[in-house]
Amino acid sequence: MYAVVDHDLLALQEMREVVRKAKQAQLKYMSFSQEQVDRIVKAVADAAYAHSYELAVLAVKETGMGVIEHKKMKNDVASKAVYESIKDEKTVGIIRKDKVKGMVEIAAPFGVVAAIIPTTNPTSTAIFKTLISLKTRNAIVASPHPYAVKCTTEALKICEKAATRAGAPKGLIGWLSFASMEATQALMKDKDVNLILATGGGGLVKAAYSSGKPAYGVGPGNVPVYIEKTVKIKKAVSMIVDSKTFDYGTICATEQSIVVDQEIATDVILELKQNGAYFLNPEEKKKMEKVISPVPGKVNPAIVGKSPVTIAELAGISIDETIRLFVAEETEIGKHVPFSLEKLSPIFALYRAENTADAKRICNQLLDLGGRGHSLSIHTENEHVAKEFSLDMPVSRIFVNTLSTMGAVGGTTGFDPSFTLGCGSFGGNITSDNITARHLMNIKRMAYGIKEVSIPKKGIMNPDRSTALLQESAQQNQIVEEVIREMGLNENYQAADIARIVVQVVKQFNKD
């Protein structure tokens, strides 16, 4: 007879052991100096960067999503770019002094960080979360997506090996090797987990927020891109197509719908075709709708991160390999409208706007469908329009004349390099920032007294006396006003002198 193996039980047992080791390691790591921490972080970043291509190959092979060269770029950003952005940040001991305010700020780690890793960016997100956790003297326990366990685990093993060689305590970087939703849920609620970094589907993010622990979660994208009439069409369309097709659309900041001013729509469509866009006719559009969303309101996971050729086969449409993406003109927005959803694949909806106000209306409706708080892209030569959208749109990031995918993670903008993009209160998140190292530490503040205060003694101001003083003040003001009127003086003329005389008269009157 064969023993029956309870997969979920094994996953739970593993999770508890990994968290236990992480806690012990983190307590030791607490005593490390800034120099020791920085040496470990650099070693991890260098190792991950050196294995960037290898990990990209593993990710594409295991998940069936994306493009190897693009996955490598993501790994490069997650390792090298993230490291460069945090390497000089103080995260140990006293990190700031303000002599004027008499304040000293001291960094303290959270403890053990539970990191949920998505299938769309399985190696880059693991590297990124490991670096920012170690930089802030936290331990990390990662939960890979069930469809990306091998590649995520391999990325973490590379990081762990480099960290221990550089002097990190063993167990500081841990992971769940069993794909179990139950274990992931238990990880987020474990008593020794102090913070959650949740990057994944809406269900996981909600679970993170309801775990009772501090959590950074992210919302969906569904990013609109507005092409305004003053735009340089050729350049804008080229960037939009490059951005949309990057890693077959697996970054949450990828543009999902084009909103274009009516007066330039014909030229934009022509340029899209020149850049490899395949415009679906009405019959093909219906076929594609069924592939995008077989169940109303839900995107088919079979299209996420897939090539145009693969998606065309699913839809029964014949295309050649020069086609880079699909576009369908659309007028409606809603859960029942597949092209208006966040598709995470090389598929665009195209909306025509009568003017800027109409474009804002369309963008707002798309964001309300599932992208509030995330990002919006705009291509324009009109600075006023760019500012207007930035002021009015309920998003945390507005990209102007750049690739949304690259702009979001700091590749072409000044945003912090990050693979966890907060959506603020618009999207139900605690922050609108690109999450980075500074979000993973507590700041303690020591403050010296710099102001003198006089504390009144109890009973010096009783209610009856306060009322009498108010009445006396009102009485004095009334007498002053009457004296000024009777003497025919200007209101401000000798008012102070008259007031002093009145006070003396009132005091004498009260004595009598």
List active site positions. 252
Task: Collect all residues with Cβ–Cβ distance below 8 Å to 170 and sequence separation of at least 6.
Answer: 21, 25, 164
Measured CA angle at 70 (ends 216, 83), to 5 deg: 50
CA 194, CA 111: separation in Å to the nearest integer? 6
The CA-atom distances, in angstroms, between 16 and each of 146, 192, 274, 283, 380 are: 19, 9, 55, 54, 53
For 317-334, b where at least 16 C-beta lie within 10 A, e where not — what string?
beeeeebbbbbbbbeebe
> What is the rounded CA–CA span in Å between residue 379 and residue 377?
7
Is 63 in contact with 148 (CB distance < 8 Å)?
yes
CA-CA distance, 445 to 413, in Å (whole number)? 32
**Which residues lie across from 175 on neighbouring strands?**
142
Residue 42: partners with Cβ closer than 8 Å, 6 or more residues away: 83, 87, 166
DSSP reduced 3-state for 168:
coil
Q: In the sheet where 103-109 sits, what is the strand order?
A: 93-98, 103-109, 441-447
Q: How far is CA 236 from the centre of its chain?
A: 25
According to the 3-state scheme, what is the secondary structure of 423-486?
CCHHHCCCCCCECCHHHHEEEEEEECCCCCCCCCCCCCCCHHHHHHHHHHHHHHHHHHHHHHHH
Closest to 351 (Cα-Cα) out of 224, 277, 279, 260: 260
